[in-house]
């Protein structure tokens, strides 16, 4: 979710003075991305403190972090406009352009790589890891479960038919829960997070806003923008699935030898007699 979308979704909860700043940013995003907090405050007719508090209200650690996202949003918008200028895109090309734009934003700093490393370290040290994700997030959440399960033991995915119920009961303060929920925020996912919190695990929420219901239940919130179909309102999961790949790589780097040993054993067991065994590329080789 870009800054303008965050402002729209959070607008009603902002204070009167914060709304003045939001209104100014809506109208002047390009110039505001380069201005100091003092100049924005003067232009919006509020105090500098109000500008900073707006950034906190949107879930940023500082106005500088929010401004960095604003610049990233502008770059992404220009890339899309550039693609459109190269020729009229059909609706499917536009859809792909939106997904590509989000992935490029992630690459260029829309996700916090320090946060990624911290989450990976917690996952690497956890005794159990439980992944939740229903409705549109199921595919991305299950892929994350699959990737983590490939490189470390005791990774579980809770399903609607109660597969994983025993593992859910075994969660404790040494465990990590990872949940995915984007608008409209599936109640099933939120309910599982609430249920698991009583056991004290570290909860990582992957969602589209620092003010989302999942964020309020999480110890650590990863904010990802997802492309939404304008008519069906269904979310594209390309950015969530890409984040899962990157998170797996970060966990693998924390437990490299154990992870590669586990992957090799699983591959050797899965390969049927007479078939060509799968090979890990050079990057994964620890011999």
Per-residue pLDDT of the chain (287 residues; tens, 9 = 90+): 678 878 877 888 889 899 899 888 888 888 888 889 999 999 999 999 999 999 998 888 888 888 888 888 887 777 666 655 555 677 788 788 888 888 887 887 778 888 999 999 999 999 999 999 998 899 999 999 999 999 999 999 987 665 567 888 899 999 999 999 998 899 999 999 999 999 999 999 999 888 889 999 999 999 898 888 878 888 899 999 999 999 999 999 999 999 999 888 876 666 555 555 555 554 555 44
To the question of pTM greater than 0.75 for the whole model, the response is no
Q: What's the CA gap between 234 and 227, in Å, rounded?
A: 8
Residue 191's pLDDT is 92
Residue 242: both structure tokens together: 């890409």
Domains and CATH numbers, the chain: 3-110 (1.10.10.10), 113-254 (3.40.50.10490), 257-287 (no CATH)
DSSP secondary structure letter of residue 228: B
Q: What's the CA gap between 185 and 162, in Å, rounded?
A: 20
Residues recorded for the chain: 287
Q: What's the CA gap between 279 and 6, in Å, rounded?
A: 44
On whether the CB atoms of residues 154 and 128 are closer than 8 A, the answer is yes
H-run or E-run covering 80: helix 63-85
Q: What's the CA gap between 107 and 4, in Å, rounded?
A: 20
By three-state DSSP, how is residue 220 classified?
A: strand
Q: What is the DSSP string of 138-150?
A: HHHHHHHHHHHHH
């Amino acid at each position: 979710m870009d800054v303008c979308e965050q402002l729209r979704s959070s607008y009603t909860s902002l204070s009167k003075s914060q709304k003045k700043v939001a209104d100014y940013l809506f109208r002047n995003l390009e110039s505001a991305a380069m201005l100091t907090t003092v100049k924005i405050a003067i232009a919006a007719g509020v105090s500098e403190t109000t500008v900073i508090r707006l950034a906190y209200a949107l879930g940023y650690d500082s106005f500088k972090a929010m401004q960095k996202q604003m610049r990233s949003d502008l770059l992404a918008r220009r890339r899309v406009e550039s693609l459109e200028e190269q020729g009229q895109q059909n609706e499917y090309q536009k859809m792909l352009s939106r997904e590509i734009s989000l992935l490029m934003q992630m690459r260029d700093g829309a996700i916090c790589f320090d946060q990624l490393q911290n989450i990976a370290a917690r996952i690497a040290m956890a005794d159990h890891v439980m992944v939740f994700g229903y409705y549109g997030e199921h595919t991305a959440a299950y892929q994350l479960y699959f990737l983590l399960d490939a490189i470390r033991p005791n990774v579980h995915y809770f399903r609607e038919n109660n597969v994983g119920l025993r593992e859910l009961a075994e969660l404790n303060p040494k465990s990590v829960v990872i949940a995915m929920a984007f608008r409209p925020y599936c109640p099933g996912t939120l309910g599982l997070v609430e249920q698991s919190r009583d056991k004290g695990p570290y909860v990582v929420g992957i969602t589209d806003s620092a003010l989302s219901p999942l964020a309020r239940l999480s110890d650590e919130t990863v904010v990802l923008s997802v492309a939404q179909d304008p008519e069906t309102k269904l979310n594209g999961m390309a950015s969530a699935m890409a984040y899962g790949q990157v998170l797996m790589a970060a966990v693998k780097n924390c437990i490299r030898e154990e992870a590669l040993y586990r992957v090799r054993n699983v591959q050797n067991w899965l390969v049927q007699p007479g078939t060509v065994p799968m090979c890990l590329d050079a990057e994964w080789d620890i011999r």
